[in-house]
Structure 1
């Protein structure tokens, strides 16, 4: 799943080397924390959060195939 998130986000940003995805297991499920360069935050979030919502939609769709709970935090 980390590779999927990185594959989606890297082409969107100006600093692809600063894209980092960390994974953490919690009681509620797996939490993925996406961090990008501060100048790229707006590109990943998009106007009114549309890009972030689209990224989450793709990740959650991939999750349903694996039958697990996933949460994506974008910072």
Structure 2
């Protein structure tokens, strides 16, 4: 069991997860802002999709550094 995470590049995974979360949050926030400013009518599932993207983006941006930067390197 020892060394099972040896092939992982933790710095790359941390940065990638953080920036993916940041991108998801930005996509959801800009989409909601655009819909609110323009006043176009969109289905409820599109609002739900954008809000979910914001929440998942925040969680991913906050948890990626913790998981890939702290927890997994300590388990080796």
User: Into which bin does the TM-score normalised by the smaller protein fall?
Assistant: under 0.3
Choose between structure 1 and 2: higher strand proportion. Answer: 1
Higher normalized helix content (fraction of residues): 2
TM-score of the aligned structures, taking structure 2 as reference length? 0.26
Larger Rg: 2
Q: TM-score, normalised to structure 1's length?
A: 0.26
